[in-house]
A and B are shown apart, each in its own frame.
Chain A
Amino acid sequence: MTASTVKSENITNIEAVPQTILDKRSGVLQTIFDIDAIATTSVDEIGDIMLFGPIESNCKILDVLILSDDLDSDSALRVDVGLYYSGIGGNQAFNGNTSGEVIDAACFASAHTTLSAAATTWTSVRFEADDIIDVNKEAWEVAGLTSDPGGLFYIGLTVTTAGTSADAGDVVVRVDFINN
């Protein structure tokens, strides 16, 4: 066997005749970060939801990262990380989708431990439950919708195992994305 050279999807598209556009695979990297002071009552029941954002429904999400204080001294707390409607923009209000309505509660991460201990370096949860190739999907596709409703989405952390010794603390969520 002899050594081979293979070319990626971008290179194949660039070298095609006619050239194929690298749709939202190259552009200015945008970041949004959001913060909330979480009360003990927000992590002590299964189904408690913490919402952060916004991001645009048609952006391509490279990373979802979290910093946090320790929100459970017993380290039992688990959260799903997913996408929620905002009710803002596009067809969301027209379709009856209101702020905080779940689209897919666990499209990024499932029963993640991230809030059960302090995280002082960014912890990525982007591909904990999602396939790595979904980085090429727009947010509405990652959330499992069949078409783009437009407008803004929220990132949601939903408690799947309640904190048994819940602590109040800060949570910071950062999303890196391309949308140009």
Chain B
Amino acid sequence: MAASTVKSTNITNIEAKPQVINDKRVGNLWAVFDKIVVATTSVDEIDDIILFGPVPSNAVIKDIEVVNDVLDSDGVLAFDIGLYYSGIGGEQFNFDKSSGTEILDNCIGTAVTTLGAANTAWASVRFEAANITSFIQPAWELAGLSADPGGLFWIGLKVTTAATTPVAGDVLITCTYLN
């Protein structure tokens, strides 16, 4: 066999005639960070939800990272991580999508235990459940929608395994994206 050279999607697009635009695959990296003081009552029941944001519905999400205090001394606490409507902007209000309405609760992470223990360096949860090829999908597509409703989305953490010894603490999330 002879050695081969393969070209990526971007290079293939650039070298195509006519050239194909590398839409939202190059540009300024935007970031939003957000914080919440989580009470013990927010992690002690399955389906408790903690919402962060905002992220534009058409953002291509590069990473979602967390730093946090310990929220469960027993370390059993687990969350699904997904996307939720904000009810703000685009067609969301017209479609009766109010703040906190679930789109897909585990499109980013499934039963993630990262927040059970303290994290003092940013810990990525972006591809815990999502396929790495989803890095080119806008948020609405990542959430499984067939069209962009516009406006803002929230990032939601939904408890799948409740803390058996819940502890109140701070959680910070940073989402970086191209838009």
Contacts and interface: CB of A to CB of B under 8 A. Distances in A.
A4 B42 contact: yes
Would you call the interface of chain A mostly helix, strand, loop, or mixed? Answer: mixed
B121 A8 contact: no
Given A1-B44, A4-B48, A6-B39, A178 B67 contact: no
B67 A132 contact: yes
B51 A135 contact: no
Interface stretch (B12-20, B126-134, B141-149, B168-176): B168-176
B35 A4 contact: no
Contacts of A135: 33, 35, 67, 172, 174
A11 B35 contact: no
Interface stretch (B2-10, B24-32, B71-79, B108-116): B24-32
A29 B176 contact: yes
A3 B47 contact: yes
A132 B45 contact: no
Nearest to A131: B170
A26 B51 contact: no
Contacts of B31: 26-29, 62, 176, 178
Interface in A1-52: 1-11, 14-15, 22, 25-29
Interface residues of B, number: 42
Given A8-B50, A14-B88, A133 B32 contact: no
B32 to A, nearest CB: 4
Interface-centre pick from B69, B172, B176 (highest chain A CB count, 10 A): B172
A8 B33 CA distance: 10
Interface string B21-62: 000000011111111101101101111111111100000000
Interface stretch (A85-93, A122-130, A158-166): A122-130
Would you call the interface of chain B mostly helix, strand, loop, or mixed? Answer: strand
Nearest to B84: A5
Contact of B122 (A7, A14, A22, A124): A124
A136 B173 CA distance: 12
B35 to A, nearest CB: 5
Nearest to B32: A26
A10 B173 CA distance: 11
Contacts of A176: 31
Given A9-B36, A14-B88, A27-B31, A127 B121 contact: yes
Contacts of A126: 121-122
A63 interface: yes
B121 A5 contact: no
Given A11-B154, A62-B33, A6 B42 contact: yes
A6 B172 contact: no
A131 to B, nearest CB: 8
A9 B35 contact: yes
Contacts of A27: 30-31
Contacts of B122: 62-63, 124, 126
Given A5-B100, A25-B33, A26-B32, A10 B45 contact: no
Given A3-B45, A14-B152, A136-B35, 9 more contacts: A1-B41, A8-B35, A8-B51, A10-B52, A10-B53, A27-B31, A29-B30, A29-B176, A132-B170
Interface of B: 28-36, 38-39, 41-42, 44-54, 67-69, 86, 88, 99-100, 120-122, 152, 154, 159, 170, 172-174, 176
